Structure 1
Amino acid sequence: MTQIKDAKIAILATNGFEKSELFEPKRRLMEAGADITIISTDTGSIKSWKDGNWDEDIAVDIKVDSAQVSDFDALVLPGGQMNPDILRTNKKAVSFVRDFFDSGKPLAAICHAPWLLAEADVVVGRKVTSYPSIKTDIINAGGDWEDSQVVVDRGLITSRNPGDIEAFTNKIIEEVQEGRHKRKAA
């Protein structure tokens, strides 16, 4: 059990992340007292996407190649179409997500980010949601897809879109405080 004020939370993203799906959970989690680390396949900074245009940058703290699951209490995966599509082609990013899932620690993905969960082969037999356009991909990867604001399956937290961010972030806080979950094969 970890108090949110003592939690170390990683956010894994790259260029093309949906601005609100990184910045808003980051802000809300920091306000609750969590320490946030931005992890990427890139160094320097990464650029957000908003309303069909490039937008604000955010500094990268750690490259995924040197990130350790043991250093964090939870992992957040923001969406956007480009961000998870790029990350799911990076072996280190996929491995980090799979290892995080295997640790039993809370793992949260919103919008298109469940693509990365599918690539990491962690949705099989799990209840999940996502942006509707990737519903078939999630089902084909073995997930039990449902159209809900937020879905939690043993610490695996998923949401559909930016309109779900408040519920998504509240669930992250709740799951971090619950601690690790046993995640045997479904």
Structure 2
Amino acid sequence: MKVAFLTAPEGVEQVELTDPYQAVEKAGGTPTLISPKSGKVQAFNHLDKADTFPVDKVLADTSAAEYDALVLPGGVANPDFLRMDEKAVAFVRDFFEQGKPVASICHGPWTLVEADVVRGRTLTSWPSLRTDITNAGGVWVDEQVKVCTGGPNALITSRKPADLPAFCEAFLREFGKASG
């Protein structure tokens, strides 16, 4: 199972990157950290700088066709930067067009909204995204994790870092169905 992790050069919530990344590794999969720029990604613990992580692939040098699934970690700044990057938005949209599962946590669904892929889907997120998701045609629910299979692919979403155990379990199950 090859899983793309798309993040901006800075602003990703560290635990929302590291816990899912490690879950993929523990499950025998191959996670790849992708970003619009080469070098390192600056993670945050809420609003404070945390660790940096090396970028495995630059967004311009890869495509959704190379992966079985996509994870969009949150952080307030991370998805806001990604939604302003046309290549990042197109990369996300390609996973939906190819019917591949996508998982997103916290503020991560902002990028999904920009990619126009939430219409008719049920998902959860950090509560402040509720109006954005609803305005984009999605149905927002306040649940620890939501798996929506009513579309071209499985969409797995979660609200916050406290939901990470349930989020990782759910996306690994769905990713396994898709790649197995």
Same structural fold, with TM-score higher than 0.5 when normalized by the shorter chain:
yes
Q: Which residue of 1 aligns with 2:57?
A: 62
Q: Which residue of 1 aligns with 2:158?
A: 159
**Aligned counterparts of 1:101 and 1:63: Cα–Cα separation in 2:** 20
Q: Which residue of 2 aligns with 1:121?
A: 116
**Aligned counterparts of 1:51 and 1:85: Cα–Cα separation in 2:** 14
Q: Which runs of 5+ in 1 are unaligned?
A: 1-6, 181-186
Amino acid at match of 1:8: K
Q: Which residue of 1 aligns with 2:35?
A: 40
**Aligned counterparts of 2:113 and 2:47: Cα–Cα separation in 1:** 25
Matched, 1:11 2:10: no
Aligned residues: 174
**Aligned counterparts of 1:178 and 1:31: Cα–Cα separation in 2:** 17
Q: What secondary structure does 2:119 align onto?
A: coil
Calculate the aligned-residue CA RMSD, in Å. 0.9
Segments of 4+ in structure 1 off by > 2 A?
Answer: none
Match of 2:74 among 70, 79, 96: 79
Could you state the TM-score of these two structures normalised by the residue count of structure 1? 0.91
Match of 1:90 among 78, 85, 88: 85
Amino acid at match of 1:28: A
Amino acid at match of 1:158: T
- Offset at residue 51 of structure 1 (A): 3.8
Amino acid at match of 1:114: P
Q: Which residue of 2 aligns with 1:49?
A: 44
Matched, 1:171 2:170: yes
Q: Which runs of 5+ in 2 are unaligned?
A: none
**Aligned counterparts of 2:4 and 2:21: Cα–Cα separation in 1:** 10
C-alpha contact 2:46 2:75 (8 A) present in aligned 1 = no
Could you state the TM-score of these two structures normalised by the residue count of structure 2? 0.94
* Identity rate, percent: 47
